[in-house]
């Protein structure tokens, strides 16, 4: 998948920090049409991911390495994906991400899952884009992948707040100045200003984060 070869994910793979394999669930079907979905019991729209290919695939892929993988299903019914979960995943030696399409998974497939993860309150056509988001957020936290360890610590969500505003040259653009404090060289004051900006921005845009709701 080209996205996996680009940027940080590409570098991490070329440097041997990361290995990513994609598998086609249809390889674990045994009918002529390689069927992975079927109609829902009880009726209703859409199709449901069948149990057998998922059980076979998870078992077979799990056994491809002696390390037992942490099995993560991507589904809108999962727990919301957070920076803290990315931190946890970045410490795992092996993750097996299971992506569904159609209306969803047969509920019984979830017995395989260590975690069920949703990347947000919206429905994608499949779990693949969700899996890429999880991979991207996770891999950049693996030591050695991101240039500056500090940027992981400062960034949004790592302390439960949105990050402070950033500026780079030029100091005046379209008549708008960079805040003078950032040019002052007073690191203590800059740190204080950034903290205030973080709090103000979080209060304005994501008050739920301050209430500890997330
Ligand atoms: N599959 C479809 N929608 C999804 C979502 N929001 N998160 C994770 N997997 C999904």
- pLDDT tens digits, one per residue of 15-70: 999 999 999 999 999 999 999 999 999 999 999 999 999 999 999 999 999 999 99
Q: With bands split at pLDDT 50, 70 and 90, how would you rate the model's confidence at 2? A: confident
pLDDT tens, position by position, 96-127: 999 998 789 999 999 999 999 999 999 999 99
Name the closest-CA residue to atom 7, ligand 1. Answer: 118
Residue bearing tokens 């030591």: 143
Whether residue 151 has pLDDT greater than 70: no
Probe residue for ligand 1, chosen from 46, 74, 80, 110 as the CB with the greatest number of ligand atoms within 8 Å: 74
Distance, CA 57 to ligand 1 centroid (Å)? 20
Q: Which of 124, 125, 128 best tests ligand 1's pocket when mutated (most atoms within 8 Å of CB)?
A: 124
Higher pLDDT, 150 or 78: 78
Where is average pLDDT lowest: 57-66, 151-160, 165-174, 189-198?
A: 151-160
Nearest ligand 1 atom, CA 120: 6
Give pLDDT, residue 148.
57
Which one, of 25, 99, 22, lies nearest residue 56 by Cα?
Answer: 25
Both structure tokens of 70: 């942490």
Strand-pair category, 172-173 with 176-177: antiparallel
Per the rule left: phi > 0, alpha: psi between -120 and 50, beta: everything else, 128 is: alpha
Give me the chain's average pLDDT, please.
Answer: 94
Q: Is the pLDDT of residue 156 over 80?
A: yes
CA angle (128, 131, 134) in 5-degree steps: 155
């Amino acid at each position: 998948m080209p996205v996996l070869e680009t940027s940080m994910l590409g570098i991490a793979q070329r440097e041997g920090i990361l290995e990513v394999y994609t598998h086609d669930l249809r390889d674990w079907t045994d009918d002529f049409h390689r069927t992975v979905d079927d109609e829902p019991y009880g009726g209703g729209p859409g199709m449901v991911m069948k149990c057998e290919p998922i059980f076979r695939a998870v078992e077979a892929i799990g056994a491809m390495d002696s390390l037992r993988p942490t099995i993560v299903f991507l589904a809108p019914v999962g727990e919301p994906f957070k920076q803290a979960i990315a931190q946890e995943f970045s410490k795992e030696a092996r993750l097996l991400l299971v992506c569904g399409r159609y209306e969803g998974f047969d509920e019984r497939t979830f017995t395989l899952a260590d975690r069920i993860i949703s990347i947000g309150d919206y429905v994608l056509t499949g779990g693949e884009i969700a899996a890429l988001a999880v991979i991207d957020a996770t891999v950049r936290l693996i030591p050695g992948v991101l240039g500056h360890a500090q940027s992981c610590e400062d960034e949004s969500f790592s302390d439960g707040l949105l990050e402070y505003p950033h500026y780079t040259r030029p100091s005046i653009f379209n008549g708008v100045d960079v805040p003078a404090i950032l040019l002052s060289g007073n690191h203590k004051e800059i740190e204080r200003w950034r903290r205030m900006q973080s709090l103000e921005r979080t209060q304005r845009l994501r008050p739920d984060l301050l209430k500890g709701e997330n």
